[in-house]
Structure 1
Amino acid sequence: MLQAAFYEFLQTKNDFQLLGVKGDKEAFLASEVALYCGKKSYVLPDLRANEGDDLLSFHEEMVELLRVLHAFYQDASSKKILIAPLRTLLTPLPKAELFHTFTLEFGMRLHVERFREEMFYWGYLAVDVVQGKGEISIRGDIIDIFPPDSDKALRISLFDDEVESIRFFDCESQKSAKDEVESFALFPALFALDEERHTQMQRRIDTLKSDSFTKDIHSLGLWVLGESGAVYTEVFKTYLSMDAVAECEEIALFDEESAQKLRTLVQIPESKQYREIAPSNIKTFIELHQKKKITLLAKNEVLLRMVDVDALHVKWIQSERIVNIMSADEVILSLNKPTTKIKRKSARIVLDELKNGDYVVHENYGIGIFKGLTQATVLGATKDFVLIEYLGDDKLLLPVENLHVIDRYIGESGALVSVDRLGKGSFQKLKAKTKERLLEIASEIVAIAAKREMIDGLCLNVDETEMAHFEADAGFVYTDDQKRVIGEILSDFKSGKMMDRLLSGDVGFGKTEVAMNAIFATVRSGFQALLIAPTTLLCSQHFKSLSQRFSKYNIKVTQLDRFTTAAQKQVILKELKSGALQVCVGTHSLFDVELFNPALVVVDEEHKFGVKQKEKLKNFRENVHILSMSATPIPRSLNMALSSIKQYSQLLTPPSEREDVRTFVKEYDEKVIKEAIMREMRRGGQIFFVHNRIATIEAKRKELLSMMPSLRILTLHSEISASVTEKEMLHFEEKAYDVLLSTSIIESGIHIPNVNTIIIDSADHFGMADLHQLRGRVGRSKRQGFCYFLVKEKEELSESAKKRLIALESNSYLGSGSILAYHDLEIRGGGNLVGEAQSGHLKNIGYSLYLKMLEDAINALMGKTPIASREVDIKLSISAFISDMYIAEDRVRLELYRRLSRCGSIHDVLEIEEEMVDRFGKLDVPTKQFLQLIEIKILATQHAIVLISNYGQTISIKYEDEKKVTLQSRSRDDDDIIATVLTYLRSHA
């Protein structure tokens, strides 16, 4: 009854500035009442951090907390109110004096070194490429900075020490907006400190008791503000809402000091006149209360027309507020619905896509070891090369303009990688063998697709009204992605063509709900539907979901798997054959059943089925609609090749009620483990504990039992048989155990909403993609998920390992995950399409090259043969490279080299050039010449030229058909040689 009590309270009390509520939801409701009553409302996020906690794990909340506090302090109005969840009130809130701003203005003088220092004290992190809030990058006369209170980052261009332009830029593309900004008030990333205050705080942090992985202002700054820098709630005249009172008692159980603070606060009394309302039929409700004073809140007239209300009886206020209360003589009713925040975010941890020591695959020479960029001078011309090491210390220098011929090697996880030998030709034979097999696979895929095209599809009559009711009964709001994909499936059903659709999306993003819509439409059209999953565990999960969802509609759902008794199986088979049973969920045994009138088969994680089962599925594919679901994404390029033979849909947006996973990096400590397990068990949840060594997993179990003897632990790893694993996992899902101690076998395909804490032992031994996948096992329900990355000796960790773990800690939001993680997953997702039987070929040439060849094979069979990519040998004695004076960071240069080497047109090169000028300033001579070299390469490819070389002023051009052309440049200078070649190529375009 928060809204009613607060509204009533505001009618008499108006002289306070701070309201404490239970959580985010209550803060929103209170804020709506305050705004309706004419107060300016500022809402702090729910920061559930205890003193000494690492604040990097609360990165999003910290950014929001500082942004809202700054805005509140800036507001001189007397009618302002700060609304804060109780946990946030218990943290020291920074005072107004820690929120200075620095105004940047066009034409002002800016001393770069002094500015760099000041921003460091203000909490900005120096990075190579600005991608997140609170980061800064200074590159000569270009400064990129992302203030935490801004939606976009800023790019400041200097001319000497004068500000020449201020523009916003997009972190994903790194491109600036065209419009300039006259001035901008920079806000601190943390607190506006000077050198002295910064040093004092760092000293306090060093003595603070905390198990935080990093001990700096970003991790622990809030806890050392001290009385001089922090506002505690006693300073304000603070009121507590009724909803917060229960929470107070809960806090008192754990923390007496906090409880003492809370006892000084004043409570808002329960409402006497008003109560909250939630009418289901607004028109009927208004007719019942028409003698009262009725105020309707609606953001537009359309909402009024939708409820069809007689305007004479009501007062309509155009407002976006959501307040629903009534008294004996008044009704305030809102027609607005809360807007759901879209949580879809793009990856923002940019770590080197290629690092020294990574395995790479060269299209012609096979697997080698990447050794970074190196510069060499050949015949008086300086160029950048990529150094690749092969077996027997052989080295290959690859010109950077040909970087497109290599890719990161991704093989079977955990498999040993064998490096190839240069110049043996064995890799070419391997490629040829793989190509043969791929053409078989591709022709199989295309043949099935062609066959289906010939068949008249089952046309299903879908009732739109019924589908709308089914959606309304879901109990949550569908994401836009879900609505779009359901629409695509229903269109397929009505089209008269057979559907063969692949649906990919992260686990928990709502694939099952989409499948249930498809099944519901099928059954309502009078047909049968099957849902087939590769494991008994997945099967039982789907059976539960479908049974709950369809019970209301009198749709019978059964389950057929290895745990079904012989008698039950007989009944199910009989009912499926007669048509008495409409929906059946099962494992591969469903491939052999006889059906009365099947119309849809939903296949979950199809790539996990064996060869024989896939053969049976092929027979299905010819005369029923197929919906395949996968939790791994499909590479964009392969998706395009497949789109002509298979429909493809993606779910990229998580459900609005899903929480982010709170991530902590900690040194291994029994106290941390005990606390994490106890907290999860207190709320009735279960825990995953990942220990990735089978040899010591039993010792780990004993260690956990010595800490907590009553713990019920299930131990699983790859040496335990599949049937035992499945049976035990079902017991775990039925809550027979508290902790699942396992190797990383839980990395994919497990969806247990009751597990919301995962502890990963020796996290530094995992790859970034694996850690991101493991973290994704928790936080799948509406509960907050917790992930602990434990490391043995943090001092012994390499800098890059630390960097990766910290990046994961402060990027725990949904849909995050490094470019690297996505790259791995995406490539593996493509591998799923062709099945695990191909693992031999994949291991030999790597996923990326394998998929490229599969793409080419499909395109060739579809008559879309791409022009064979010709290699142009350019031997011009010109110095052409992206200079390290222009871009200092190797990885940024490498990324640009990769992109430029893949350019297919001059337009692509010009776009990158524009971006480079924007990001790094005016091109220097070697960099400009490198871009011209790429232009020469593209034009030469288009003209079937295979070689361009020069000796002094004489330039030789050789064509594919052996034709030769000789040109004379004005001088031996680089610019003259380039100009002569470009003039010739352009004139022959």
Structure 2
Amino acid sequence: MADVFDPPLPERAGDDVGWQGLTGSAMGLAVTEAARRHPGLTVVITDDPDATYRMRCEVEFFGADTGLPVLTLPDWETLAYDAFSPHQDIVSERLLTLYRLPRLASGVLIVPVGTLLQRLTPQQFLDAHSLIIQRGDPFDVGAYRARFEQAGYTCVETVRERGEFAVRGSLVDIFPMGATDPFRIDLFDDEVDTLRLFEADSQRTIEQVSRIELLPAKEFPMSTAAIARFRDNWHANFDVDVRRCPMYQDISQGISPSGIEYYLPLFFDSLATLFDYLPDDSLIISDTNLQSAARHFLKDVAERHESLRHDLERPILEPARLYQREDELFGALQGYRRVIFDGARHASRFESRTPPDLTANSRAQNPAERLCRFMAEAPRTLFCADSPGRRELLWEFLTRAGLATVDCEDFAAFREGSMPLGITVAPVERSLWISDMAIVGEAQIFGRRSESPGRTGRRGIDPDQVIRNLTELNIGAPVVHLEHGVGRYQGLTTLDIDSSQSEFLTIEYAEAALLYVPVASLHLISRYAGADAETAPMHRLGSDQWDKAKRKAAEKIHDVAAELLDIYARREARGGKALAGPDEDYQRFADQFPFDVTPDQQAAIDAVTDDLCSARSMDRLICGDVGFGKTEVAMQAAFLAAQNGKQVALLVPTTLLAQQHFDNFRDRFADWPVQIEVVSRLRTDGEVEAARQRLASGAVDICIGTHKLLNKAFVFKDLGLVIIDEEHRFGVRQKERLRSLRAEVDVLTLTATPIPRTLNMAMGGIRDLSIIATPPAKRLSIKTFVQQRRKHVIREAITRELMRGGQVFYLHNEVRTIDQTASELEALVPEARIGIGHGQMPKRELERVMGDFYHRRSNVLVCTTIIETGIDIPNANTIIMDRADKFGLAQLHQLRGRVGRSHRQAYAYLLAPHPKAMTSDALKRLEAIEAASELGVGFTLATHDMEVRGAGELLGDEQSGQIESIGFSLYMDMLDRAVKAIQSGTTFDLDVPLETIEEVNLHFPALIPDDYLPDVHTRLIMYKRIASAHSTAELDELRAEMIDRFGQLPTQLRQLFTTTELKLAAQSLGLARIDIGQATGRVEFGSETRVDPLALVQLVQREPNTFRLDGGTRLRITRNLEDPDKRVAFVRELLHRLTPQADAERTTADVAVGL
């Protein structure tokens, strides 16, 4: 058997050896040890980008002590001949790797097979356009500016992205490729005085540096000579009319269009391959069946070429110009030392195994039972967690299981040490089990992979929590306390209570009365939403104002609940129309989706499928931000309905969106016998009439249309599913018709920004709700700027986009002056190709304008809000909105969502008058949209909209008064309880508290120290999240997050988490209060306590000196508990013993241990 720590290697160039039997991360370990011994560069070939990432993590982990550099040459992550360019981060990493390769004496390069096959930019290009700038160097601004531009850098006013530079007097800012931050060059006369790093977002300098390495901004040149060579080569390769080729026209103007990478050969006389960059003594290791992987990749490229080669506006090159042939690849490999995995003759066999299933079973008495069994037979084991916070959770889990681990700095420390069990931080996804040791990642124990850097989606959004959160509180903002009513937030304050420090949230009520709320009770506080802050009520402490407001609201809420339940009952009554479940055809259709489905998307698809296959009629709201994949959910639902012989109606608010959905559905369903029609004003009367007749006869399976489809003239033969895109954009009469449809057919509603009424019904459980909160991979949030209308701002915004080959929406919502605005832009940016689109144009003309923009024949579209809903132009990544102050918040969000639909950084410029010339509401809207720039903020904006506009306008006058008096959050709580009460046949009793007020006080400091987290705003957010946690699992995640974000937890914060954990246990037992100090304490029982009465009696009988019942509602405690840890252990054991069905055999030994 071969030794993984001493793997066999080929002795000479041209030799190969084989490795077999390497499972899990054993391959990564063998690669690391090979690189440690091999004097030159070690190259690892993997299957795909995911395998590349995995291998990099493993080599960095196993080789942390070697000091060897680990590089990757990433895949472009685009389809062959794609119209999109690779993500800027990918281009940056590729250029940095290619620049470093010839300069590396040793190290590890990991490359996916697709990149290995690519033809690359020649090394001479990189050398010619790379330069080093040091302090004291002479610096001629004009000469360097020309060099930057020839290397592909774009001159802008403010540097924000890689590949940009700016010149402002004696300051030159530049963001080089391969750098993590931009640099500021400060000149003194014609000499470099200082070089400093600065933050792109804040523009503040961070630290001084001594030198800057500048790489080209692109993998091809943009000099005058290079552009001339491109044009000559274009004519030599393609016999097409260049006037109809946007790619040719853009390059001719010095613009690098999207997808230009697949024309790389036209910029050079000849290209290189990766082998031209590799030293002759490189060792090449294949972590895959290379021949099969290469053949499969080249087959996909050939198929893409065949399907796209007939496009005369975008002609493409032969595959052999862009990729090596199979014989070329293997011919080049022959000259190197090679290790072939699992495929060579006379392969050396390694002994490595995969550990058994170690997943923790949370329902078992010992969740770590499987792990403990493995530990009994396993050798020394190192446990790996993804982050310091996750390590803390893993350590606690192992400690509770009786497994004592020792912290290890890295793998080398564990291997050289003698500890039987170690724990470290390393994102190792695959486990390892060899003769004398095992590596176990947290994924093997917790059954899922935690979010890892660079591969994460955003945390899912809980719609309920968006409205209840305190994340946007400013001093003086209205808040609701469940017991005391509406007051004004006055900040956080620290008080000494019973000789221990605690932090309190201060609320001011009428007549300057102050209420101090312990941070552990922040679950009783919610942000007030329902009216403007100035008009929100302010109650008097100790008066009956608050109780009266709640009772008055409760009377109205009962009626609303009854109306909602009536709709619900009508849905339940319609049964017997369940569809047959998904079959092989459905699975094939789903597999044709060309992108990775996000977890949220998959959950929504599964939920819709379950609804369609159940007897109950569906009424589901799919809420996801723009570009998060709601349409694919709708397409899969439509396919399932059509498969079952049901017709589908897709209702959209605008003509343009109808046409776009029609085009997308036709493309997606191209391989299937599904008939699709569209009804809109872009169709002639004859076409609409023909569609109407085919609908009635059942010849159309899916019909897409505007409100015209709701006309009674349109009769479906067998309508089974109605999909509604952005229902809130329809008029009152259309909504009434939609409401009547809900009781008859399955209804699926798609929305990006839910209006609160829609959100109410979903949150109240009347409509089912699916949230798609995870952005697609590589998606970036849209950078949003509120600016006054100035020519230089507009010119820079448009030029920045055009120079990277993108397109711009310029929104001007006045048809009367739209032509004049387009003329002004033409003069401002003469290189732009401008189109004009608005709703009053003849329909054929509008269709032509939009077609030109879609096919990139124009690159700036001056338009009205006709683009608001659903227009999908992934290459358009800048939007400029004229007079943005005139739009509503939901509308601003929708319009901004027209950009940022690819993996490029998108920009939204909101042009508005001076703040003093705007209304306060307009100012609030613009502040809200600028602040809410994260991906997936539709929910937050919906609640902002309610505050700005007031509840009445959105929810109707009848409910608005109640919401304004008690706040939206409490209104929803009471509505939810009223619905449940009617459903169960009981009475909605307002005297039963909505929240049990559990208080746990163990008389030690339990807070977030301000020296640990100085920002009051962030501290408040974390307090609220801790207090609102519903489970110990949530607390564990929060604890891990805080360690990762802010560092190891101080004692006071650990004690806050402990107190909150005990509060959750007290809540499950129906306890109202636990107050235990150093010598005495008490436990108070709630009105509906679930304490085991027999256990309580036994406790008092067995230990009368410690426990005494006081009036049946309190348990008095006398015990010496000076040590805080013993106090916590005492309370834990007490709660365990009071829990029903706890171990009946409570022996004296048990008592001695715990109590």
Fold in common (TM above 0.5): yes
The question of 1:406 aligning with 2:525 is answered yes
Q: Secondary structure at the match of 1:677?
A: helix
Q: 1:935-954 counterparts in 2 under 5 A?
A: 937-938=1063-1064, 941=1067, 946=1072
The question of 1:630 aligning with 2:748 is answered no
The question of 1:419 aligning with 2:536 is answered yes
Q: Taking structure 1 as reference, are residues 482 and 594 closer, same or farther at Cα in structure 2, changes over 3 Å only?
A: same
Q: 1:87-106 counterparts in 2 under 5 A?
A: 93=130
Q: Taking structure 1 as reference, are residues 562 and 828 closer, same or farther at Cα in structure 2, changes over 3 Å only?
A: farther
Q: Secondary structure at the match of 2:291?
A: strand
The aligned residue for residue 955 of structure 2 is 837
Q: 1:523-562 counterparts in 2 under 5 A?
A: 523-546=642-665, 557-560=676-679
Q: Taking structure 1 as reference, are residues 441 and 545 closer, same or farther at Cα in structure 2, changes over 3 Å only?
A: farther
Give the drift of 1:981.
9.6
Give the drift of 1:421.
1.3
Q: Secondary structure at the match of 1:898?
A: helix
Alignment match of 2:878 (pick from 751, 757, 761)? 757
The question of 1:824 aligning with 2:947 is answered no
Residue 600 of structure 1 aligns to which amino acid in structure 2?
L
The aligned residue for residue 600 of structure 1 is 721
Q: 1:888-967 counterparts in 2 under 5 A?
A: 888-904=1014-1030, 920-921=1047-1048, 923-924=1050-1051, 927=1053, 930=1056, 934=1060, 937-938=1063-1064, 941=1067, 946=1072, 963=1112, 965=1114, 967=1116
Alignment match of 1:346 (pick from 453, 458, 464)? 458
**Segment drifting more, 651-660 vs 380-389:** 651-660
Is contact 1:875–1:950 with CA below 8 Å preserved after alignment? yes
Is contact 2:811–2:863 with CA below 8 Å preserved after alignment? yes
The aligned residue for residue 76 of structure 1 is 106
| 1:142-168 deviations in Å (ceiling 9; x for gaps) | xxxxxxxxxxxxxxxxxxxxxxxxxxx
Give the drift of 1:620.
2.5
Q: 1:666-745 counterparts in 2 under 5 A?
A: 670-677=791-798, 687-689=808-810, 707=828, 733=850, 739-740=861-862
Aligned residues: 775
Give the drift of 1:375.
1.7
Residue 625 of structure 1 aligns to which amino acid in structure 2?
D
| 1:898-954 deviations in Å (ceiling 9; x for gaps) | 233224567866776787788644643x55665565466556655655567799977
Q: Taking structure 1 as reference, are residues 507 and 205 closer, same or farther at Cα in structure 2, changes over 3 Å only?
A: same
Residue 737 of structure 2 aligns to which amino acid in structure 1?
K
The aligned residue for residue 297 of structure 1 is 291
The aligned residue for residue 203 of structure 1 is 194
Q: 1:8-23 counterparts in 2 under 5 A?
A: none
Is contact 1:870–1:941 with CA below 8 Å preserved after alignment? yes
Q: Secondary structure at the match of 1:676?
A: helix
* CA distance in 1: counterparts of 2:837 and 2:485, whole angstroms: 40
Give the drift of 1:577.
3.8
Give the drift of 1:555.
5.3
Alignment match of 1:376 (pick from 495, 506, 509)? 495
Give the drift of 1:409.
3.8
The aligned residue for residue 506 of structure 2 is 387
* CA distance in 2: counterparts of 1:904 and 1:269, whole angstroms: 59
Is contact 2:1083–2:1115 with CA below 8 Å preserved after alignment? yes
Is contact 1:212–1:665 with CA below 8 Å preserved after alignment? no
Alignment match of 1:501 (pick from 613, 616, 620)? 620
- Structure 2, unmatched stretches of 5+, are 1-13, 15-40, 42-47, 53-69, 78-86, 111-115, 136-161, 163-177, 235-246, 257-263, 274-288, 301-321, 333-452, 462-468, 916-925, 1088-1110, 1140-1155
Q: 1:156-195 counterparts in 2 under 5 A?
A: none
Q: Taking structure 1 as reference, are residues 604 and 252 closer, same or farther at Cα in structure 2, changes over 3 Å only?
A: closer
Q: Secondary structure at the match of 2:1019?
A: helix
* CA distance in 2: counterparts of 1:70 and 1:217, whole angstroms: 27
| 1:807-851 deviations in Å (ceiling 9; x for gaps) | 999x9xxxx954894661586899999994358535555554444
The aligned residue for residue 621 of structure 1 is 742
Give the drift of 1:874.
7.3
Is contact 1:701–1:741 with CA below 8 Å preserved after alignment? no
Q: Taking structure 1 as reference, are residues 742 and 428 closer, same or farther at Cα in structure 2, changes over 3 Å only?
A: farther
Give the drift of 1:268.
0.9
* CA distance in 1: counterparts of 2:836 and 2:248, whole angstroms: 36
The aligned residue for residue 516 of structure 2 is 397
Is contact 2:753–2:893 with CA below 8 Å preserved after alignment? no
Residue 516 of structure 1 aligns to which amino acid in structure 2?
M
| 1:271-291 deviations in Å (ceiling 9; x for gaps) | 9xxxxxxxxxxxxxxxxxxxx
Give the drift of 1:374.
1.1
The aligned residue for residue 325 of structure 2 is 325
The question of 1:884 aligning with 2:1010 is answered yes
Is contact 1:762–1:790 with CA below 8 Å preserved after alignment? yes
Give the drift of 1:360.
3.3
* CA distance in 2: counterparts of 1:620 and 1:354, whole angstroms: 41
Residue 291 of structure 2 aligns to which amino acid in structure 1?
L
Is contact 1:532–1:585 with CA below 8 Å preserved after alignment? yes
* CA distance in 1: counterparts of 2:944 and 2:753, whole angstroms: 7
Give the drift of 1:602.
1.2
Q: Taking structure 1 as reference, are residues 430 and 587 closer, same or farther at Cα in structure 2, changes over 3 Å only?
A: farther
Q: Taking structure 1 as reference, are residues 481 and 416 closer, same or farther at Cα in structure 2, changes over 3 Å only?
A: closer
* CA distance in 2: counterparts of 1:472 and 1:983, whole angstroms: 50
* CA distance in 2: counterparts of 1:543 and 1:571, whole angstroms: 16
| 1:854-885 deviations in Å (ceiling 9; x for gaps) | 44445555559999522246799865533334
Is contact 2:72–2:109 with CA below 8 Å preserved after alignment? no
| 1:375-424 deviations in Å (ceiling 9; x for gaps) | 23457654311123456655432221211122334558xx6652321226
| 1:420-453 deviations in Å (ceiling 9; x for gaps) | 2122655544444544555555555555445444
* CA distance in 1: counterparts of 2:843 and 2:71, whole angstroms: 53
Q: Taking structure 1 as reference, are residues 69 and 713 closer, same or farther at Cα in structure 2, changes over 3 Å only?
A: closer
Residue 268 of structure 1 aligns to which amino acid in structure 2?
S
Q: Taking structure 1 as reference, are residues 708 and 820 closer, same or farther at Cα in structure 2, changes over 3 Å only?
A: closer
Q: Taking structure 1 as reference, are residues 628 and 331 closer, same or farther at Cα in structure 2, changes over 3 Å only?
A: farther
| 1:288-336 deviations in Å (ceiling 9; x for gaps) | xxxxxxx9822599999x9xxxxxxxxxxxxxxx96737899999xxxx
Identity, % of aligned positions: 29
Q: Taking structure 1 as reference, are residues 549 and 843 closer, same or farther at Cα in structure 2, changes over 3 Å only?
A: farther
Is contact 1:658–1:780 with CA below 8 Å preserved after alignment? yes
* CA distance in 2: counterparts of 1:78 and 1:922, whole angstroms: 37
* CA distance in 2: counterparts of 1:476 and 1:87, whole angstroms: 36
Is contact 2:536–2:965 with CA below 8 Å preserved after alignment? no
Residue 203 of structure 1 aligns to which amino acid in structure 2?
T
Residue 670 of structure 1 aligns to which amino acid in structure 2?
K
Is contact 1:461–1:494 with CA below 8 Å preserved after alignment? yes
The aligned residue for residue 363 of structure 1 is 482
Is contact 2:999–2:1073 with CA below 8 Å preserved after alignment? yes
Q: Secondary structure at the match of 1:298?
A: helix
Give the drift of 1:617.
3.1
| 1:569-604 deviations in Å (ceiling 9; x for gaps) | 666555544435443333445444433221221122
* CA distance in 2: counterparts of 1:807 and 1:619, whole angstroms: 36
The aligned residue for residue 182 of structure 1 is none
RMSD: 7.2
Residue 267 of structure 1 aligns to which amino acid in structure 2?
D
* CA distance in 2: counterparts of 1:467 and 1:532, whole angstroms: 23
The question of 1:777 aligning with 2:894 is answered no
The question of 1:267 aligning with 2:269 is answered yes
* CA distance in 1: counterparts of 2:581 and 2:905, whole angstroms: 38
Give the drift of 1:529.
1.8
Higher relative contact order (CA 8 A, sep 6+): 1
Q: Secondary structure at the match of 2:502?
A: strand
